[in-house]
Structure 1
């Protein structure tokens, strides 16, 4: 992994009836740059998806960040140990479930049922890079969320208007 590529960029993407959706090109480029290299010398084309711990959206990231995230969760579980000194496994339960999915050269992958249901993603998905990972939102859910920055809300409204999408 280069370590220099951050997930920056955004995109409103259509989701088909089978749950196929494409990762927007700026985010896909970062995902490839951050991905480990396989035995064939090419980046491993896998995206990790996980339901966000606190927001009604999905987090997406590379395999190396998945390992880093696991280590961070384990540290949090130790820091918030139970009365008997055992790590707080509930922290791990809330943050470890994820799906590792292949994507093609166009960035298309099939979004699994649970994360999609968690984020209420229907026909449209809004991808937004926030550094170490990117988020995938249902546009209507994002617009209704009180915890979303006004600039992001305005960006989604702009993208919907550009595509002439009415929710």
Structure 2
């Protein structure tokens, strides 16, 4: 069995008065485990999905190691490969942030802007990392499973009717 930290599940978070979001408890436990017991969360943007991503420090090391493996495979196959550019794409956009014991953290302004996030987010565990979506963007993404899109749509409807913050 692999030692990889795998995120699953989903949850909503609405920014508090200071603009902080709350990392869901189960994801928080895994991030802390993946970060050697520290309350360290790595945040970035997904290069294709239009959402942010979150994970612990161990996944950052995985991304670095994976580029080394891609370099090795390209070298063996006689293919060109720009490892520096690949590291820039995978590691250069990561922001490390602290979260408190209650899971509160600030989402970096650049990441918020890139992902179109305002005052609400949807956490979506998808394996080695979790996605952080602006809810309306997830609903508008036909590639996401209907079960998840419908759940988020219902939450947005309830929020618009005054049932959720």
CA RMSD of aligned residues (A): 2.6
- Superposed, which structure 2 residues align to 1:104-115 within 5 Å? 104-115=100-111
Q: CA deviation at 1:72?
A: 1.2
How does the TM-score come out when normalised to structure 2?
Answer: 0.82
Residue in structure 2 matched with residue 40 of structure 1 by the alignment: none
Contact 1:12 1:160 in 2 (8 A): no
TM-score (norm 1): 0.81
Conserved? CA contact 1:73–1:92, under 8 Å: yes
1:53 correspondence with 2:47: yes
Which residue of structure 1 aligns with residue 15 of structure 2? 15
Distance 1:160-1:4 versus aligned 2 partners, 3 A rule: same
Kindly tell me: are residues 79 and 147 of structure 1, through their superposed partners in 2, closer, same or farther at Cα, counting changes over 3 Å? farther
Deviation at 1:133, TM superposition (A): 0.8
The answer to whether the Cα contact below 8 Å between 1:74 and 1:92 also exists between their aligned partners in 2 is no
In the alignment of these two chains, the number of paired residues is 157
Q: Write the distance in 2 (CA, Å) between the matches of 1:89 and 1:4.
A: 25
Matches for 1:75-154 after TM superposition, within 5 Å: 75-76=69-70, 79=73, 85=80, 87-96=82-91, 97-154=93-150
**Corresponding residue of 1:70:** 64
Alpha-carbon contact 1:128-1:135 (below 8 Å) kept: yes
CA 109–78 in structure 1, closer or farther in 2 if over 3 Å, else same: same
Q: CA contact under 8 A between 1:76 and 1:91: conserved in structure 2?
A: no
For the structure 1 residues 113 and 27, does the alpha-carbon distance in structure 2 shift closer, same or farther, using more than 3 Å as the test? same
The unaligned stretches of length 5 or more in structure 2 are none
Partner of 1:39: none
1:18 Cα deviation after fit? 4.7
Instruction: Report how far residue 140 of structure 1 moved.
Output: 0.6
